[in-house]
Amino acid sequence: MVRLRYAPSPTGDPHLGNIRTAIWSWLYAKKMNGQFIIRIEDTDQARTIDGATDRILNSLSFLGIDWDEGPTTSGKYGPYIQSKRKETYVKYAEELVQSDLAYYAFETPSELAAIREEQKKQGLPPGYDGRGRLINKTQAKEFLDKKIPYVIRFKMPQEGETSFTDLIRGKITVQNKTLDDLIILKSDGFPTYHFAHIIDDHLMEITHVTRGDEWIPSTPKHVAIIAALGWELPIYVHTPIILGPDGGKLSKRHGARSVLDYKEDGYLPQAVMNYLAMTGWALDDKTNIISIDELKKHFDLHQLLPNPATFDEDKLNWLNGIYMREMPLDELANILQKQLTKDLNEDISLETLKKIVPIIQERINKINEITNIAGFFFKKDFQFTDLEILHKNILENNVEKTITVLLSIIEKFEKIDEKKLITANVEQLLRSNAEANNIKPGKLFMLLRIIVTGQKVSPPLFETIEIVGKNKVIQRLQTAIQKLS
RNA sequence: GCCCCCAUCGUCUAGGGGCUAGGACGCCACCCUCUCAAGGUGGAAACAGGGGUUCAAUUCCCCUUGGGGGCACCA
């Protein structure tokens, strides 16, 4: 059975590239009827942020990703938080020292910095020069007894080459002489990422190591350590990064960045999942829209593309709009009600909203656009925020005539029964009014649109008038006349 | 500096030794139309360059160029 894991560090919110790897891993586990595990990699206590784990888990939940084992779940391979597994790493590190595959080293960070400085000056690649290998066991024991801080370094092979297979790139080979003796246990007793993930992935029986492709250069070191431990290599899947529109790293500069930001910005989880799953992977030559169920059926790690992709917000927006339009009216109404309540701080009638949804569904791409599109339906203290557009759109540039026409419309509206003020009647009434006054219907509609909605862009006018209702419409017409006088 | 990875329309991609190089987003035009959308129809738009291999290369190999990443007691 395949077992894949998502192993984030609790140092911040997951961003798109990072979560895409999680999505792919999860989808593949689902497809293969395998298991998906969450492991928190918090071996750097200094960088660990309070609450980050919760936010990571929330990001996953938002997308509908579940897990078989993880920090909030029990499982026979736990604990799933690395800081709770310290002794395990120490044990394996000490064993490697015992078998002479690793050694204690006593350089201080500043000494190491000096070594690198010197190498840089000489145009050499920076890296540990292996001087700790020269310290014999007795000396080492002496230092240890004196409580001199130490790290444990792994003895990298110095000759030959190391190869491994990356699932989406094939065989990758490096010369061992480019590998230096890396630290596996830090002086604070915590393991480094390089060591901890190897131990955990083995103990947790992870079959596919999925991670960002920035790890490719250090994978040969991991391979060497795994060989020293006598363990089997996992299948490596190094996923490319997602670039910002400027070709650089995706960052705050490019708008929302973390998954939670996208949630906040009104994106639907299906859309984010669809977009992310299909950037770097394609089902065939024509599929652009795909459900989560279909993804679970068809997604395959073997088809991943090796090249980095550029984030395309337009396409995400388009996809989100597709899903917004596909959503059942009631479901959409519920979601929009929450957004409006939050934005307007008013009681939003679900009944009214259900009438509005059909006429705005094709006009909305993101949940949080609803307030701009339809907020005017609910604002109690309706004002013309922009008097200028009212003045600019009066009929035939003639205030008096405009007022006369508006008064005649008020008169007609007043005579009509509220129940009869429905779309078809409103349209008929307004069209004949325009004809009677010899004005272009379009001009009249635009003026009324501004008066009723306060906006130049709005949902269809007649439906809008019906939903806003007789009294409010008349009120707004009167306000407009006042403002024009 | 050394090492590694990547390269099809602006973007996401399909394809792969012989194709009019396909789809989608975005863009443009037209249709629909009370604004804006949505929808429909059509259009412009790509195999980075140079060498090989081959009857044939965009596809395979090499180099160049360009882009990205790594070389921490961070992950």
Residue A253 reports pLDDT greater than 90: no
Cα A71 to Cα A79: distance, rounded to the nearest angstrom? 7
Residue A354 reports pLDDT greater than 80: yes
CA atoms within 13 A on the CB side of A448: 30
Q: Please give the radius of gyration of chain A, using alpha carbons only, rounded to the nearest integer.
A: 32
Cα A243 to Cα A86: distance, rounded to the nearest angstrom? 35
CA-to-C1' span, A351 to B34 (A): 25
End-to-end Cα separation, chain A, in angstroms:
78
CB atoms within 10 A of CB A273: 25
Query: What H or E segment, with its residue span, contains residue A37?
Result: strand A35-38
Query: What H or E segment, with its residue span, contains residue A309?
Result: strand A309-310
Residues A277/A24, Cβ–Cβ less than 8 Å:
yes
A82 CA: nearest nucleotide by C1': B75
- B71 C1' closest Cα residue: A126
Q: CB burial class (10 A; 0-12, 13-18, 19+) of residue A193?
A: middle
Residue A420: per-residue pLDDT = 83
Residue A484: per-residue pLDDT = 81
Catalytic residues of A: 252
Beta bridge partner(s), residue A238? A211
Cα A63 to Cα A47: distance, rounded to the nearest angstrom? 26
CA-to-C1' span, A287 to B41 (A): 21
- B7 C1' closest Cα residue: A307
pLDDT digits (tens, 9 = 90+) for A58-100: 999 999 999 999 999 888 897 999 999 999 999 999 999 999 9
CA-to-C1' span, A286 to B17 (A): 24
Dmax of chain A from CA atoms? 108
DSSP A337-377: HHHHHHHH-S---HHHHHHHHHHHGGG-SSGGGHHHHHGGG
Mean pLDDT of chain A: 93
Residue A381: per-residue pLDDT = 67
Segment A276-302 shows an average pLDDT of: 96
Residue A240: per-residue pLDDT = 96
Residue A419 reports pLDDT greater than 90: no
Cβ neighbours of residue A94 closer than 8 Å, sequence gap 6 or more? A152
CA atoms within 13 A on the CB side of A188: 9
Residue A385: per-residue pLDDT = 64
pLDDT digits (tens, 9 = 90+) for A2-17: 999 999 999 999 999 9
Q: Name the H helices within A213-268.
A: 219-229, 259-264
CB atoms within 10 A of CB A342: 11
What is the dihedral sign for C-alpha A117, A118, A124, A130? negative
Residue A3: per-residue pLDDT = 98
Cα A296 to Cα A299: distance, rounded to the nearest angstrom? 6
CA-to-C1' span, A33 to B47 (A): 38
Q: CB burial class (10 A; 0-12, 13-18, 19+) of residue A304?
A: buried
Residue A395 reports pLDDT greater than 90: no
Residues A319/A274, Cβ–Cβ less than 8 Å:
yes
List protein-proximal bases of chain B (any atom < 7 A from a CB): 1-8, 10-15, 22-26, 34-39, 67-75
Segment A46-67 shows an average pLDDT of: 96
Cα A7 to Cα A248: distance, rounded to the nearest angstrom? 24
Supply A244's token pair: 């910002």
Residues A42/A82, Cβ–Cβ less than 8 Å:
yes
SS3 A191: strand
Residues A441/A431, Cβ–Cβ less than 8 Å:
yes
Segment A277-301 shows an average pLDDT of: 96
What is the dihedral sign for C-alpha A308, A313, A318, A319? positive
Residue A483 reports pLDDT greater than 90: no
Residue A353 reports pLDDT greater than 70: yes
Helices (H) and strands (E) in chain A, counts: 20, 11
Q: Which residue has the tokens 């999925």?
A: A210
A216 CA: nearest nucleotide by C1': B4
Beta strands in A147-248 (DSSP E): 151-154, 161-166, 170-175, 183-185, 208-212, 235-239, 242-243
pLDDT digits (tens, 9 = 90+) for A323-347: 999 999 999 999 999 999 999 988 9
Residue A383: per-residue pLDDT = 67
Residue A78: per-residue pLDDT = 79
Segment A435-459 shows an average pLDDT of: 93
Residue A389: per-residue pLDDT = 85
Residue A388: per-residue pLDDT = 81
Beta bridge partner(s), residue A173? A163
SS3 A4: strand
CA-to-C1' span, A297 to B28 (A): 38
CA-to-C1' span, A38 to B37 (A): 42
Cα–Cα separations (whole angstroms), residue A125 to A108, A176, A321: 20, 14, 50
- Given pLDDT bands bounded at 50, 70 and 90, which one contains residue A23? very high
Residue A448: per-residue pLDDT = 95
Segment A159-174 shows an average pLDDT of: 94
- B22 C1' closest Cα residue: A285
- B10 C1' closest Cα residue: A245
pLDDT digits (tens, 9 = 90+) for A449-481: 999 999 999 999 999 999 999 889 999 999 888
- B38 C1' closest Cα residue: A362
A455 CA: nearest nucleotide by C1': B35
**Residue A395 per-residue DSSP state:** G
- Given pLDDT bands bounded at 50, 70 and 90, which one contains residue A382? low
Residue A183 reports pLDDT greater than 70: yes
SS3 A156: coil
Residue A208 reports pLDDT greater than 80: yes
A125 CA: nearest nucleotide by C1': B2
Q: Which of A12, A4, A87, A6 is nearest to A47 (CA)?
A: A12
